[in-house]
Amino acid sequence: NVILSRTMHIEGLNTYTCTDFEAALQFLSASSYVNDIFVIGGQEIYEIALRDPRCKSIIVTSFPDAYECDRYLPELPSWFKLSRSVDHEDIVINYYDSLLDLQSSEYQYLSVLNHILENGMPIVDRTGIGTIASFSSHMQFPIEVINPDAAPIEFKYRVPIMTTKTLFHRGVFEELIFFLQGRTNVKPLQDKGIHIWDGNTSREFLDSHGLENYAEGETGPFYGYQWNNFGAQYVSEKSGWLENNKGVNQLEECIRLLKTDPYSRRIVLSAWNPVDLPKMCLPPCHMVYNFCVMPPANIGSKPRLYCAMFQRSGDMFLGVPFNIYSTALLTILMSRAANMVPGGISLTITNAHIYKNHVDQVKTQLQRHPFKYPVLQIK
């Protein structure tokens, strides 16, 4: 038993006195025989403990009567979720579990943000806004199948979606499908309310980049075109398509290798084609995906698919959370095509930067703690 007091010092059998909450936690954590630490009040201590991200669970016992009170249980933080309730005669016991994850790999992403703020160098960029940048950031994120004994179509994946800021979840899905289909006009995205490429395919933007012959909304031979038709001669929509104009379908080749030669070290998907760069509305940022298969973790399980993504430029606040989830989703889809399970992803970003008009938002984000990654099921 630990007593918190600023004025008294009480010692006795199994009793210890600390002057503050943190000192009590440190004392108990250093004791080898302590497994769980319970905080039992009062109001001021509850207020400290409930806001502490290390608080794993809350047990609230409710009595169906009215009492005259001068002390109250603080409002429970939003990251606690009711997990179960137990009725015991006239008493209800509610159990709440924290959704925070203090071991989350998202801390790698937050660490890069913090490193750029503290050590990055100011650089004038093409947008004119200006950035704070650092060289070569690396992050790794696991992907877990939480029901590996189920049929593959029923798999549920715990996926690395950064939880300390909002993510346009549907936009990631639709853009990736757009790339996989090899499309070169953003109208199908616009029809679905996805406008992330509007700025780079407007009439004004295309004309200012020497692409006057492109139709508005046309991207040129970027991402998906290279994935599906690497080496094919690109012709603008206005000029009509060439017959028999097929390049290398890298997606099909990657899947073929995953099925026939899974431990090959040459399973690479590339969007970087120097010949076509002048024809693209924007050179690809996430340039290369290198797939790597590891043997099954145990007898009867499936091989594990990993993906290392190389990115030449990363907008750490807005773009990179998008890229992390998109890479994870691509890895999941490729694993399904090859009858494997995803193992995880890594990102290496050459120029990791924060735009100067995002600095305040990043500082706010760094005050937050990650939640447990959500679970994804693809029906």
d(CA 118, CA 110): 12
Choosing from 254, 281, 285, 307, the catalytic residue is 285
Residue 338 burial by CB count (10 A; 0-12/13-18/19+): exposed, middle or buried? buried
Active site residue 307: no
The three state secondary structure string of the chain is CEEECCCCCCCECCEEEECCHHHHHHHHHCCCCCCCCCCCCCHHHHHHHHHCCCCCEEEEEECCCCCCCCCCCCCCCCCEEEEEEEEECCEEEEEEEECECCCCCHHHHHHHHHHHHHHCEEECCCCCCCEEEEEEEEEEEECEECCCCCCHHHCEEECCCCCCCCCCHHHHHHHHHHHHCCCCECHHHHHCCCCCCCCCCCHHHHHHCCCCCCCCCECCCCHHHHHHHECCCCCCHHHCCCCCCCCECHHHHHHHHHHHCCCCCCCEEECCCCCCHHHCCCCCCEEEEEEEEECCCCCCCCCEEEEEEEEEEEECCCHHHHHHHHHHHHHHHHHHHCCCEEEEEEEEEEEEEEEHHHHHHHHHHCCCCCECCCEEECC
Known catalytic residues are 285
